[in-house]
Chain A
Amino acid sequence: MKTDELIAALAADTPPIAPGALGRRLALALLVATAVATALVLVWLGMRPDVHFAMRKAAFWIKAGYTLALAACGFSLTLRMGRPGARPGPALAAAPAIFGALALLAVGELLASPASLRVDKLMGDSWRVCPLLIMAIAAPVFAAAIWALRGMAPTRLRLAGASAGLLAGGVGATVYGLHCQEMSAAFVVTWYSLGVAGCVAVGALIGPRLLRW
């Protein structure tokens, strides 16, 4: 086909594009995937039995706020990485800053605790399973983010995959918080972050293969 003919054929089909369609696609995919991840936690792991009590504590909301903030960074990065030529933007610096803020809080918390309790605060009861469970819960969210990205036009595939991983890890960790009873900042900043980082690593690793177009 000659290029002129191609142009004529393409231009013959020029429907208007609604502004913000890209963000809506990602948000919708995310909504469905979060529902799936939540169902997974409730059916497979179960809601933490003391949830009503825990919700009255600041630590519960700090944990949820931390993971949600990481998810928000992931959302912003994923949307930007789906657009050719876009820079990663403020979320690239915000995510480490959010981690740093909680790390400071964790150090303060450990210093304020009696030395004999510090190891317990850091390791909790579930450090062995926490990162892996977060990654498992994040899987459907990761799939949704990849699906949404495939409808965009990512040109930096590794970065786009890592962004999808951050989004999935942040949402997965937030939902996992419905089950997990650990409350110390030291535990969250260590093991939750490790789970999220695992998602980012997986995304960076397989992103180029999943997102090529």
Chain B
Amino acid sequence: MTDEARLKALMLRGLAGDAQAHAALLSAMSGYLRGYFSRRLGAGAADVEDLVQDTLLAIHLRRGTYDPAQLFTPWAYALARYKLLDHFRRTGVRKTTPLEDAGELFAAQNPEEGAVRRDVSKLLGGLSKRQRQLVEDVKLAGLSMEEAAAKAGMSVTAVKVSVHRSMKAMAKKVRDEDG
């Protein structure tokens, strides 16, 4: 399932009043947003978490402006970009942010991302559905172990064990293929 399809499904359920889906959406978005703002401001910049929270708040309060007939990711990206530009304006940093597409928010930082992602999805394919979800949440979306555990309804320890095993299995698979 693509990011778009997964996030949009959560958004639609949230719009219908499903609080659990809405929480899962905000959790997933916080990972993407943290990555996006970190890349823009430098990792560990003090303002990153403020911007993440600000944008999550905007996603929550202004979710009525999402048109279900449209894609979700460009909507979320436009909000994040607006918050970033607003931040630059308020802090007086003169910096141009080119109009990229929504891919920017949902992409990892290196340019080989497309190829890497294909490889990763191949590797993930070898895992069970639950394992795969946890690896995606923790390693790709940037959720903490606690967040991923809450989302999956598992204990933190169980998540740690599962993710660790998955990573080992995937590493073995890579070695086998290379060797």
Listed in ascending order, the chain A residues whose CB lies under 8 Å from chain B are 1, 3-4, 6-8, 10-12, 14-17, 19, 21-22, 82-86, 152-153, 155, 212
Contact = CB atoms under 8 A, between A and B. Distances in A.
Identify the 8 closest CB pairs spanning chains A and B, nearest first: A16-B17, A84-B78, A11-B23, A85-B78, A85-B74, A153-B62, A155-B82, A14-B19
Contact of B26 (A10, A83, A152): A10
A10 B56 CA distance: 9
Given A6-B53, A6-B56, A84-B78, A22 B70 contact: no
Nearest to A6: B53
Contacts, number: 84
Interface string B51-83: 011001110101111111010001111110110
A14 B86 CA distance: 26
Interface of B is mostly: helix
Nearest to B67: A83
24 contacts: A3-B53, A4-B144, A6-B53, A6-B57, A7-B26, A7-B56, A10-B22, A10-B57, A10-B60, A11-B19, A11-B22, A11-B23, A12-B19, A15-B17, A16-B15, A21-B64, A83-B66, A84-B76, A84-B78, A86-B70, A152-B64, A153-B58, A153-B79, A153-B82
B30 interface: yes
B136 interface: no
Contact of B146 (A4, A12, A84): A4
Given A11-B22, A153-B79, A17 B56 contact: no
A161 to B, nearest CB: 15
Interface of A is mostly: loop
B64 to A, nearest CB: 5
A84 B64 CA distance: 11
B121 interface: no
A212 B19 CA distance: 29
B1 interface: no
Contact of A8 (B23, B102, B144): B23
